[in-house]
Structure 1
Amino acid sequence: METSEDTCEANEMKFWKYHGIGNDFILFDWIGNDIEIDKDRCKLLCDRNYGIGADGVLFLLSGDKADVGMRVINADGTEAEMCGNGIRCLAKHAYDFGVVDKTEFTIDTLAGIKTVKVALDADKVVTVRVDMGAPILDGRSIPIDHDGKFIDRQLKVDNLVIRGNAVSMGNPHFITFSDLDDGEVIRLGPILEKYKLFPKRTNVEFCRIEDGNIHIKVYERGAQWTLACGTGACASTVAAAVNGLVSFDEPVAVRLPGGWLTITVKKDLSHVYMEGPAELVYEGNISDE
């Protein structure tokens, strides 16, 4: 793999390390680059002992139908359709490094074109608001092996009966507000990710409502336990609103292990808006061998 213009020496490629409330990524600027993405290499780079270490790899691409494009490879080498924290990091990079010259622009993802608006401090992006589009509640479209909506339905798994909700934000999520202890949560995360109802596996969100805020622990598809999941925060807020636990059309504070996001769900479910920070940690060069 090789960047377009930031390669310092032959056989080296430049990368940037970002995080969105602890959900961390390696980013490569592949504007104008048509080399095939090496998913096995991405998996190695994400290894926290033998690689750089990250929850995933972001590729900033030229945009055919949008201002720029994005691809996301998970830590296990699989590809994600969408990543809420990742898109904020990519948006920050695109603006801060002059790839785009406007504060509102579009990003083409495997989950469709998303519009982002960046907020600046000293000409650098500090937070990003993303129009995540409409959530998907139809079971077969999420996908989940269920006809119609899967909202506040009973599920028996690992000798426990819980209630859950299935929502897609371009990628599948299973959200539960059941009262579970820490041991049950830790046990159920990897089981639910690969549960038979989910043909493409699923992200899993364990939620509780406290003072009108949503607190979430996330077992992320392809990355295991993570400090944050932007699409998971969106999907969880959708599920909470549909179940009457939070209000539509009002910003909801969502607490993940790595920090806070603000999510707003339109009552007609036409749009979900996510707002949160993105931070550059460091940049470097790695061997292309």
Structure 2
Amino acid sequence: MHFWKYQGIGNDFVVLDGSKGDLEIDTEWCRCACDRHFGIGADGVLYIMPGEGTDITMRVINADGSEAEMCGNGIRCVAVHAFNYGIVKKTTFTINTMAGIKEATVTLDGDKAVAATIDMGAPILDGRSIPIDWDGQYIDEDFAIVRYFFKANAVSMGNPHFITFQEMDDATIDRLGPMLECHRLFPKRTNVEFCKVIDGKIYIRVFERGAGWTLACGTGACASTVAAAINKLVPFDEPVDVHLPGGWLKITVNKDLAFVRMEGPADLVFEGDLPEEYSE
């Protein structure tokens, strides 16, 4: 099986081209391929599939074999790959995801796409729709786990995010990340973002559902910027610089919460082949 390895500010993926409809999703293959010792090594696998009323479809399989509704860094990698390999012929196109249809616009360096801007759609704030076990919005609410007490927020960008701006040391963050991912408040588990805002910029560490600690999370950057804007920590309708361990993104949150726009790079690292029976 031919594959491409991409990274979006350190969030890395195996990309498979099933745009001709000749590829089936194999979650066990994905789990083995993502293994960093015995496989290719990645945070997840991105399948490019035929469009469903769109130009293409993206499916996201996490490193543990579970499927994610959406992936912000992944969709930029898919957009850049789809343009550079002629799967789509235009610079603005639509991508179907399990979180709805997203519009992608690639940025060119010469005739090559090197980055993408994604209209991520409207954030979801209703607790039951995120989903969390909570009625109404969960914004700047008190939260307690073990001996830790802090304010937190819940936002979905098609996938659930639990966000705090509470000052914490690294040891506390290291402990809380995996505990919060599986907390009973989240019926489908959650991504967890530990944020601080300094001089109008957001700095994030993220524990991703199904992948663990990663260098970046695009939907997490979007959800965190939504929470920061609602809490009046950053402005609406202006690009906000968001730093993750792997690099920077620009996130713009519409004041009416009609859309969130994400801008960032995507890079091909290498390509290769694995035997079809690899996971057996």
Q: Hey, what does 2:29 align to over in structure 1?
A: 41
Q: CA deviation at 1:64?
A: 2.0
- Match status 1:262 vs 2:250: yes
C-alpha offsets along residues 22-74 of structure 1, whole Å, 9 cap, x if unaligned? 00000000012354311011001000001000000000011021000000000
User: Partners of 2:109 and 2:20 in 1: how far apart?
Assistant: 29
Q: Note the 1:188-207 alignment, pairs <5 A.
A: 188-207=176-195
TM-score, normalised with respect to structure 2: 0.98
Q: How many residues are matched?
A: 277
Query: In structure 2, the residue corresponding to 1:263 is in which secondary structure?
Result: strand
In structure 1, the gaps of 5 or more residues are 1-12
Q: Hey, what does 1:251 align to over in structure 2?
A: 239
User: Partners of 2:123 and 2:85 in 1: how far apart?
Assistant: 31
Q: Note the 1:170-185 alignment, pairs <5 A.
A: 170-185=158-173
User: Partners of 1:135 and 1:182 in 2: how far apart?
Assistant: 28
Query: In structure 2, the residue corresponding to 1:85 is in which secondary structure?
Result: helix
Q: Hey, what does 1:93 align to over in structure 2?
A: 81
Q: CA deviation at 1:158?
A: 2.0
User: Partners of 2:269 and 2:145 in 1: how far apart?
Assistant: 39
Aligned match for 2:215, one of 206, 222, 227: 227
TM-score, normalised with respect to structure 1: 0.95
Q: CA deviation at 1:263?
A: 0.1
User: Partners of 1:100 and 1:52 in 2: how far apart?
Assistant: 26
Q: Hey, what does 2:116 align to over in structure 1?
A: 128
User: Partners of 2:116 and 2:23 in 1: how far apart?
Assistant: 29
Q: Note the 1:67-106 alignment, pairs <5 A.
A: 67-106=55-94
Query: In structure 1, the residue corresponding to 2:166 is in which secondary structure?
Result: coil
* AA at the equivalent of 2:97: T
User: Partners of 2:17 and 2:25 in 1: how far apart?
Assistant: 12
Q: CA deviation at 1:174?
A: 0.2
Query: In structure 2, the residue corresponding to 1:287 is in which secondary structure?
Result: coil
Q: Hey, what does 1:9 align to over in structure 2?
A: none
CA contact (8 A) 1:158 1:188 kept: no
User: Partners of 1:286 and 1:51 in 2: how far apart?
Assistant: 9
In structure 2, the gaps of 5 or more residues are none
User: Partners of 2:173 and 2:264 in 1: how far apart?
Assistant: 26
C-alpha offsets along residues 90-149 of structure 1, whole Å, 9 cap, x if unaligned? 000000001111100000000000000011002111110000000000000000000000
CA contact (8 A) 1:174 1:205 kept: yes
- Match status 1:54 vs 2:42: yes
User: Partners of 2:116 and 2:146 in 1: how far apart?
Assistant: 39
- Match status 1:147 vs 2:135: yes
Q: Which runs of 4+ in 1 moved over 4 A?
A: none
Q: Hey, what does 2:266 align to over in structure 1?
A: 278
Q: CA deviation at 1:169?
A: 0.0
User: Partners of 2:11 and 2:116 in 1: how far apart?
Assistant: 15
